[in-house]
Amino acid sequence: MNKIIAIVGMCGAGKSVVTDYFEEKGFNRVYFGAITFDEIKRRGLENNQENERKIREEFRASGDMAIYAKLNEKKIMEAYKKGNVVIESMYSWSEYKYIKEKFGDAFKVIAVVVDKNIRKERIANRDTRALNSEEVDLRDLTEIENIEKAGPIAIADYYILNDGDKDNLIKKLDELYNTL
């Protein structure tokens, strides 16, 4: 049976590195965030943190906190028919419940966690979408309060502590991958 794995965590935890790892292992990537970036482009907005947050919250303001899962359901299903799937940027508790209901035991969640100060340092040093400490705090709060981000992290099937360098993370991922 094919697997669907969602990678969750707060910004700067290392979700993209983990998602890249699974994609390199042959998993088909479904990127929920593409909906946000497509909408930013469609509206002719500048691609920045503020517009990303605005668009994410607008989509969810419809009252449907599972909207990103629903809009990506067809992509998930097509990728799942081809093989294993890794989902990047699944944020909300409602998205988790929606996908779990559709795919049952084939669906697992990996939470990437790291100390806040390490996350802040990583984010401050990013080449793109860098944020200062206050911006990270604001993003954390808005994601927890406005888009239900904590739920999928809390209920994850597996946790990866990403408190070292990339080589350390890859070693931990190799161990986890062998148990999957």
DSSP string, 56-109: HHHHHTTS-TTHHHHHHHHHHHHHHHHS-EEEE----HHHHHHHHHHHGGGEEE
| 20 alpha-carbon distance from chain centroid | 12
With bands split at pLDDT 50, 70 and 90, how would you rate the model's confidence at 162? Answer: very high
Asked whether residue 30 carries a pLDDT value surpassing 90, the answer given is yes
What percent of the chain is predicted at pLDDT more than 70? 100
Whether pLDDT at 3 is above 90: yes
Helix (H/G/I), strand (E/B), else coil: 63: coil
CATH (domain of 168) = 3.40.50.300
d(CA 30, CA 151): 20
Domain of 70 in residue numbering reads as 4-179
Please tell me the total count of domains within the chain.
1
Q: Quote the pTM value.
A: 0.90
Q: How confident is the model at residue 146 (pLDDT cuts 50, 70, 90)?
A: confident
Q: What angle do CA 48, 53, 59 make, to 5 degrees?
A: 125
Pairing state of beta strands 85-88 and 28-31? parallel
pLDDT at 8: 97
pLDDT at 114 over 90: yes
**Residues facing residue 109 across a β-bridge:** 6
The string of pLDDT tens digits covering residues 71-108 is 999 999 999 999 999 999 898 999 999 999 999 999 99
